[in-house]
Amino acid sequence: MNLIENRSLKDCNTFGIEVNARYFAEITREEEVVPLLSSLKPDQRPLLILGDGSNILFTDDFPGTVIRINTKGIAVLNDDSEAVILRVSAGEEWDEVVEYCVEQGWGGIENLSLIPGRMGAAPIQNIGAYGVELKEVLLELEAIHLETGEPRTFKREECRFGYRESIFKTTLRGHYLILHVTLKLSKKPQLNLEYGSIRKELDQAGNSSPTLHDVREVVCRIRRSKLPDPSVNGNAGSFFRNPVIRSDQFELLKKQYPSVISYPDPNGVKLAAAWLIEQCNWKGKRTGDAGVHPDQPLVLVNYGNATGQEILDLAALIRQSVLSRFGILLEPEVNIF
């Protein structure tokens, strides 16, 4: 496979940051992966695997090879009266898979509607929204080691999923290319309606017996109302994770700030990072073309020609102000290069 030299990555990241990859290749067939990896010379590394680049911030040109995954395919491995097991190629658009499954009546990922990105990136981030995380439906994934080309199957427990985290963001970061993800979805789904404003939206519509399609529509409507379109203003969705603090810390915080927004969490109490940022008066602030979205302070925006470093500098100022006021250090959700 021929590598493209000095290829712009502006169309490969939803922030729309203008940087170049020293080398670039696009994979459309699984069989291309091993020959490509084995052909790379030392000066063509390191490697970066990209789909849509919806959870990444480039602060500089990438010095090695960017491999974009564009493989397609959804296969039914098992289908019975209770559930269906799907094997999905890494290059499939996540939301298109959600839409397809909802149309088939297969439940479990409808709350994850409209999350940008491709299937291969979903386990790395353990994507989640409205009370649902990918780990709840993922059975296993198949990957290739980037150095040796050896295949490996990771069972759910081997992925070490956490809140917006997996082993592929920690100890195995940059070591594997994900090829397929296997999901188990229910034909008799129990709808999760209690997180965020899903229930409120359904009640306002007088819908007391929602379907999978209804839930997907509501989630899409809520997300569109809160999050800017990357094709209009470059962004990567939520820039920071919602921090989790100990219960005793939360009680002290609540005494000082009774209106603090929080959610239950197995490890303590999860705070709304957007609320913390807004309390520090960052909502709608802008420095040049780098800014904080006026409707959703958790989203940092490229209004045109901001550099990745300018976005990162803005994020650092936000983190420092939240830390100074609340004693809480926000952690980025996006991957920074």
The residues annotated as belonging to the active site are 164, 238, 333
Residue 300, phi then psi, degrees to nearest 5: -95, 145
Helices 94-104 + 212-226 axis angle, to 10: 150
CA distance 59 to 222: 31
DSSP 8-state symbol, 282: -
Q: Whose structure tokens read 């999350």?
A: 115
Q: Is the peptide bond before 264 cis (omega within 30 degrees of 0)?
A: no
What is the DSSP secondary-structure string of 20-36? Answer: EEEEEEEE-SGGGHHHH
CA distance 210 to 252: 39
CA distance 114 to 223: 7
**How far does CA 195 lie from the centroid of its chain?**
18
Q: Which CB contacts under 8 angstroms, 24+ apart, belong to 38-42?
A: 38/149, 39/1, 40/65
Inter-CA distances, 186 with 34, 105, 149, 199, 237, Å: 34, 8, 34, 21, 28
Q: What angle do CA 257, 258, 264 make, to 5 degrees?
A: 100
